[in-house]
Amino acid sequence: MNTRTAPPSLLRPEDLWSRMLETTRHGLATGALQPIATECRTLNHRGVPFQVRMLGRAHLKDERAKREPPRATPFNPFEHPDPDLVVGGLTPTHVCLLNKFNVVEHHLLIVTRVFEEQESWLTAADFEALALCMSGLDGLAFYNSGEAAGASQRHKHLQLIPPLGPDGLRVPMETWLSAPLARGVVKTVPDLGFGHVATGLGPWEDVPARDGARMLEAYLALMAAAGMGTTPLPPYNLLATRDWMLLVPRACAESQGINVNAMGFGGSLLVKTAQQRQQLEEQGPMELLRQVTRPVVLG
């Protein structure tokens, strides 16, 4: 029988990694955590070592077998989270979970305790909870707002993964984002061939309230620069590390059958078949990203 010590009431940054490892072991043992097997290849394009993962045949077969008639009310896995996937509480408003169907290891979800729409504005509370996790895990944070941006659940959740890139990069795309970006300055990075705006976050303080407030300030500046103040909000992806933040306005969810979410703009793409992978190699990942984004012209 698998037993597990009850998590503390609220997580501290220094306890996040050990608690995540413990929850991962428990989730695998109970079957609550169901990693998705993929084959990963590196595809170098325009100086970026893109990671291209292809779903395994077993997963595609399972997906076909699991198809069910649509529910009258869509299932919300975050309304009552599986306790075997709960890493711990973060703040009075947010909780940290493991991603049940993870493609990369140690994929965390930062979820609101009370339902909020995924397409609503991010708030100070969202960023404070995210900053707490980022102080414990120096990786890539991201957010998919809207179906056209790759969101699969309506319940608001941010995401955080460990570093993916080679040579100390948190993501492959950091090849073009590693040069310091100034805090308070919104710009585009010419080497990124897709629509975006970016800004620096300044020195990380490991104080969630202050780090979160700085992230909120950057987010609002990027949204304004990209003309994202309309209601309802247009679809977009947000990516952030301790050093920078990137906003990507979306035009569509996919191109030629290849879906793209925020991780794609970090340099990690997922394809379903060898044919899609070959197609991606022929056109180049940056061209795919350009096709699914909306151009941004700074005034």
User: Given this model, what pLDDT does residue 202 score?
Assistant: 84
Q: What's the pLDDT band for 60 if we cut at 50, 70, 90?
A: very low
Q: Which of 263, 292, 115, 127 is nearest to 195 (CA)?
A: 292
Q: Which residue would you say has higher pLDDT here, 190 or 278?
A: 278
Q: Does 80 participate in catalysis according to the annotation?
A: no
Q: What's the pLDDT band for 289 if we cut at 50, 70, 90?
A: very high
DSSP state of 254: E
- β 94-98/108-112 pair status: antiparallel
Tokens of 236: 């977009």
User: Given this model, what pLDDT does residue 8 score?
Assistant: 52
Q: Is the pLDDT of residue 107 over 80?
A: yes
**What percent of the chain is predicted at pLDDT more than 90?**
82
Q: Which member of 45, 106, 155, 157 is catalytic?
A: 157
Q: What's the whole-number mean pLDDT along residues 152-159?
A: 96
Q: Is the pLDDT of residue 6 over 70?
A: no
Rounded-to-integer distance, Cα 215 and Cα 199, Å: 10
Strand partners, 139: none
Q: Which of 161, 146, 160 is nearest to 111 (CA)?
A: 160
Instruction: Check if the beta carbon of residue 62 is closer than 8 Å to that of residue 35.
Output: no
Q: What's the pLDDT band for 180 if we cut at 50, 70, 90?
A: confident
User: Given this model, what pLDDT does residue 71 score?
Assistant: 56
DSSP state of 111: E
Mean of the per-residue pLDDT values of the chain: 91
User: Given this model, what pLDDT does residue 65 score?
Assistant: 39
Domain range list for the chain = 13-62+83-292
User: Given this model, what pLDDT does residue 9 score?
Assistant: 76
Q: Is the pLDDT of residue 194 over 80?
A: yes
Q: Which residue would you say has higher pLDDT here, 165 or 252?
A: 252
Q: What's the pLDDT band for 75 if we cut at 50, 70, 90?
A: confident
Summarised one tens digit per residue, pLDDT across range 197-233 is 999 998 999 999 999 999 999 999 999 999 998 888 9
User: Given this model, what pLDDT does residue 288 score?
Assistant: 98
Q: Which of 88, 93, 79 is nearest to 9 (CA)?
A: 88
Rounded-to-integer distance, Cα 126 and Cα 32, Å: 26
Q: Which of 79, 113, 78, 116 is nearest to 98 (CA)?
A: 78
CATH fold for the domain made of 13-62+83-292: HIT family, subunit A (3.30.428)
Q: What's the pLDDT band for 69 if we cut at 50, 70, 90?
A: low
**What percent of the chain is predicted at pLDDT more than 70?**
92
Q: What's the whole-number mean pLDDT along residues 6-33?
A: 91
